[in-house]
Amino acid sequence: MPDNQTKEEWLELATVLNNPNAKGTGVVIYQAGGPKDYMENVSYDEMLSRDATQQFFAFAWVPDAVATLQQIQKPPCAGRCAKTCKRPGCLCDRSIGHCK
């Protein structure tokens, strides 16, 4: 089962809650220990559909209302983690316990 690290509070934002077409950035790790990849201009529902077919190791959806692709790519993710990482766009690779 994939590790969906999308923050609940992001899904409850007024711009997202009643708008299934709200766009954002998908952040994905395809396999344990693998590199992080981005999917620009996707909705949360599109991320769930892609996960169903591609079976991500871990993913998060970051709405544009929280941060754009350019904003989440700037500072590198770092640090240890157990479940999630604090910064938007960072994923916890639980197989190694580090934020990517």
pLDDT digit string (tens) for the chain, length 100 residues: 679 999 999 999 999 999 999 999 999 999 999 999 999 999 999 999 999 999 999 999 999 999 999 999 988 899 999 999 999 999 999 999 999 9
Residue 87: inside a domain: no
Phi, psi of 38, deg, nearest 5: -125, 150
- The answer to whether residue 89 is domain-embedded is no
User: What proportions of the chain, in percent to the nearest 5, are helix, strand and coil?
Assistant: 25, 25, 50
Q: What pLDDT is recorded for position 79?
A: 94
Which DSSP state fits 53? H
- Domains contained in the chain, number: 1
- 12 within domain boundaries: yes
With respect to residue 63, please indicate whether it lies within any of the assigned structural domains. Answer: yes
Residues 6+ apart with CB under 8 A from 80: 97, 98, 99
User: Quick check: is 7 in a domain?
Assistant: yes
Say if 80 falls within a structural domain: no
Taking the CA atoms of 51, 11, 7 and 38 in sequence, report the sign of the dihedral they define. positive
Q: Can you tell me which residue has the tokens 């711009």?
A: 15
Instruction: Report the C-alpha gap between 90 and 87 in whole angstroms.
Output: 6
The residue segments making up the domain with residue 21 are 3-74
* The model's pTM: 0.93
